[in-house]
Structure 1
């Protein structure tokens, strides 16, 4: 995640191939160009990777763009569902070219295993890059969940369903005779079942009191055991929600994320939304682990992928640009409005940590509208050159994810230091070229991430694209 026209990358959404038959234009409309790629999908993927790097490395100084401490939806909260939407959209486009179901299923499983491997390696605690020049993880505390693991789950489930329900007659059937929703009703039935199960578990599961031990050696409470009082059901607050309870029971509390976003909430620190020292009256759960990519929320996230698959089906069946855009924009706007209404009527709050239904609707709707915008600008108006840096990143998304978002390249550079590990080229550039020039840590950090990370990797990806080199899973 080879050549540009054959490489596939479902792990982060690639490939972005359109149907092999050239789209036919509606009467009076400019015909859709003959192309093997949907450039807008590469650009959308590149934008998502770039935003991930931005919020990961600049979010500490700019908390308005990082994950919301609990309820709400900040800039960073769109990244994960955007990835899943892109993965979903790529699934029917890539599997369309593999007629043999057995071959397709084997390819899906192999890529799933690769995703799981890289996910555990990068987010399980083994890699300490870029700041610490060490590696290794105590298996008693390894983190099993993460971004790539969630993508692997959604990709596997939806891909296998796409393979099992694949029908040559369906692929050639005109949506004028039968709605695309009806043609692929099995996938929407799966989505409905997932939604019902997740809501039942979230609102009906009894959550008892629980306890945890503080493992953060920098904390004044290191080694202490705290008890969190719950004894309730149907609550969506940080300490007593069913998603956390399921993860503690199945994964084990020591295998969950140790620095959840809720540590920046007003109940925990006066520095909110920044991270800071805990309040003296902070509740017991503030230092507890919580898994934002946990089991229940990952199951719910499959819905984001199913919505993306629908957009891919529209691309396959609809033959004109305007027919596609009408379908995409209508669905995107409907989902966005529904999610906003659910949140502001206090029916179901927006919550990335729980992957709530309103959050699914808002983020999937936004993904559909953003992609539709890129499709209009790039694939219809032909403004592709304006977005080339994002397209290059999107065509080598796995490389940029591992090297930049995963901190592997920065960790490698930090390994070559002068007189001490805090005196490295990365730190020197950040401090002297950006922060000191602007006399601001916030502005300097933001510009460093934009130019020394995102733009740098865009240029690297552009060179690799010229050479026909891609990171393929």
Structure 2
């Protein structure tokens, strides 16, 4: 097993904060001076539009490549033989469309990906005075900055600290170094630091019990799988980072509608590993003789607590003013986790039987022994999926086409501007009311939507249950093929392939034009199959490295994985407090945003490590 020690790991988290400080020092002080216009914002460039036509006023509009079937948006109006300036988006390539005004005739168009804080000119002219043809040429007046350089530097610095720490741990394995430390430090403490393996949890049930999102309490005969806590912690760390802003990079934010970014991966993985934990914990407790009535009470209580914490404590509608029933957001991340946990845990409690301590390979139907006994569960989950499909594609939504899965707004050429989310939004508005939904969905950034839409709404919770059920299946694989590492990994791989094939069929390998596109806002079934395919493969990799080969202790992700509820709630509550956030010198710099978000994330990882060392775990 890889050597580790408290010095190395605790220093690594402090190093994380130091990395961010160093990055902050690298913040481009020249950014402001490079900006020709004082109000140029992050992810924008300056465009000077030169109208060299002698007889045409120009109307210039634009549309982003990432905006599917969108109406072009007006950018600027330029009179004859004059120059106008405008700010253009540089997150994605855009198409500039030049029309004559007022008749609206298209004169030319050009496709270009602008760079952040660059200065460009769009020159509209007749290449030949005798020709009616108009050309649109982009000229670079001032080169843009490399906005991705801070990420590269951050990776190098973290990698450098990791190498230094590994070298330090190797030195600790040298007997002469250990003896010197023994003399210089308290002998008892030195022995503990050198000989203890950081992150090796006590195999007692006292640290278990964070059943819904935290960690299951393993039976004495089934050692605690560090890979599950590592998987959960990895998802949680990414979630904290992207929730804090992800350096204001677009790929660290949620996708506006169809497709995936890094931010769209973590919540489904959280749900997936919750399902895995349910299978292991309930099997353990049933094997120890716990009554189902007792477990039912615990399931109901934990589900209720998750829901209440989400509604009362972690509620984004606080930003609208003092929270009251008039603006209380009912759905949410913890609310969805609570509902999903309730359904999947009850489903397992009703039909599950304790898995024997030893599972013989010669058992009946060995290839499907983790599936066949649970056919009623599969039948119920399939029925839930049929309900989702029927409601999504057959429910009549006033003013919207049947089966609409689009973003509304300026998407679909503005034909269904108030149909954001189709049936999903309609059901939420009927049951919850628009004022109790999320008011600032990611779709309004790119598609300019104006109606509320909740990405954690009622209809999507059905597919969240499916995601957790697939995680439940991963837990059953671990139970039924206990200590058969090859069998476990092969089945993880097969499930990943099966889910991937289903996704290929549903999406037709297209971001927007498949049968059912991948969509985090709607939690489409293709989103579930795609993310579960990734989850099975990721769990396979972590399981192999951490629990089979023991090449990796799981640190640093193992520690937040052990205290997931506390870290999630804590990072939401203290998001706007120092040292997690402060007033920036240059808020229009990716570097300073990245520094701040790295510091905040590293601090929460360090806090989870300290809590682990002190054996403090928040249970619900």
TM-score of Structure 1 vs Structure 2, range by shorter chain: 0.7 to 0.9
CA distance in structure 2 between the partners assigned to 1:322 and 1:383 by the alignment: 17
- Preserved contact between residue 321 and residue 380 of structure 1 (Cα < 8 Å): yes
1:395 aligns with 2:562: yes
Map Cα deviations across residues 348-391 of structure 1 (whole Å, 9 max, x no partner).
Answer: 11111111111110011111111111000111111233x31110
Correspondence 1:240-319 to 2 at 5 A? 240=419, 241-265=422-446, 267-268=447-448, 286-319=449-482
Matched, 1:409 2:574: yes
SS in structure 2 opposite 1:10? Answer: coil
Report the count of equivalent residues: 393
How far apart are residue 125 of structure 1 and its match?
Answer: 4.5
In the TM superposition, residue 20 of structure 1 has moved relative to its aligned partner by: 4.4
Compared CA separation, residues 324 and 264, structure 1 to 2 (3 A): same
Which residue pairs with 2:617 in the alignment?
470
Question: 2:520 corresponds to which residue?
Answer: 352
Q: What SS does the corresponding residue of 1:389 show, helix, strand or coil?
A: coil
- Hey, what does 1:379 align to over in structure 2? 547
Counterpart CA distance in 1 for 2:250 and 2:343 is 34
Task: Return the match for 2:226 from 39, 59, 75.
Answer: 39
- Correspondence for 2:341 among 106, 131, 155: 155
Choose between structure 1 and 2: higher strand proportion.
Answer: 2
Larger Rg: 2
Residues 121 and 127, structure 1, Cα contact 8 Å, conserved in 2: no
The CA distance in 1 between the partners of 2:464 and 2:405, in whole Å, is 17
- What is the match of residue 5 of structure 1? 204
Give the secondary structure class of the aligned counterpart of 1:471.
coil
- The residue aligned with 2:388 is 198
**Which secondary structure does the structure 2 equivalent of 1:293 belong to?**
coil
1:172 Cα offset (Å): 6.5
Is the CA contact (8 Å cut-off) linking 1:16 and 1:42 kept in structure 2?
A: no
Q: 1:15 Cα deviation (Å)?
A: 2.0
Unaligned runs of 5+ in 2: 1-200, 409-418
Greater shift after overlay, 7-16 or 99-108? 7-16
Describe the shift of the 1:238–1:126 C-alpha distance in structure 2 as closer, same or farther (beyond 3 A): closer
Aligned counterparts of 1:335 and 1:106: Cα–Cα separation in 2: 34
| Counterpart for residue 365 of structure 1 | 533
CA contact (8 A) 1:13 1:86 kept: no
Change over 3 Å in CA distance of 1:84–1:16 after alignment to 2: farther
Residue 459 of structure 1: how far off its partner (Å): 1.6
**What's the RMSD between the two structures over aligned residues?**
2.4
Measured in 2, the distance between the counterparts of 1:342 and 1:262 equals: 22
Deviation for aligned residue 1:121: 1.9
1:247-301 C-alpha deviation (Å, 9 max, x unpaired): 1111111111000010122x42xxxxxxxxxxxxxxxxx1211011000101221
Q: Provide the secondary structure at the position in 2 that maps to 1:206.
A: coil
- Is the contact between residue 580 and residue 596 of structure 2 (CA under 8 Å) also seen in structure 1? no
If asked which structure has higher relative contact order (CA below 8 Å, sep 6+), I would say 1
Question: For residues 349 and 283 of structure 2, what CA distance do their matches in structure 1 show?
Answer: 9
Cα separation, 2, equivalents of 1:126 and 1:353: 18
Structure 1 distance, partners of 2:297, 2:360, is 30
Shift of 1:344: 2.8
- Of 106, 110, 121, 2:312 maps to 121
Q: Which residue of 2 aligns with 1:458?
A: 605
1:62 — aligned with what?
Answer: 249
> What residue in structure 1 maps to residue 373 of structure 2?
183
Task: Tell me how far 1:402 sits from its aligned partner.
Answer: 1.1
Q: Secondary structure at the match of 1:459?
A: helix
Point out the structure with the larger helix share.
1
Partner Cα separation in structure 1 for residue 443 and residue 355 of structure 2: 50
Q: CA deviation at 1:57?
A: 1.4
Structure 1 residue 409: Cα displacement: 2.5
The 2-side partners of 1:106 and 1:3 are apart by 27
SS in 2 for 1:291: coil
CA change 1:401–1:4 in 2 (3 A) is farther
Rounded to whole Å, the distance in 1 between the matches of 2:619 and 2:493 is 31
TM-score (norm 2): 0.60
Superposed CA deviations along residues 2-22 of structure 1, whole A, max 9, x for unmatched, are 9773222122242274x6445
State the partner residue of 2:148.
Answer: none
Contact 2:242 2:253 in 1 (8 A): yes
Query: 1:431 Cα shift?
Result: 3.3
User: 2:596 maps to which residue?
Assistant: 448
Aligned position for 1:418: none
Report the secondary structure of 2:250's partner residue: coil
Change (3 A) 1:426 1:305: closer
Please give the alpha-carbon distance, in whole angstroms, between the structure 2 residues aligned to 1:20 and 1:8.
14
User: Is contact 2:317-2:327 (8 Å) kept?
Assistant: no
Q: Distance in 1 between matches of 2:357 and 2:477?
A: 11
Residue 443 of structure 1 and its aligned partner are, at CA, apart by 2.4
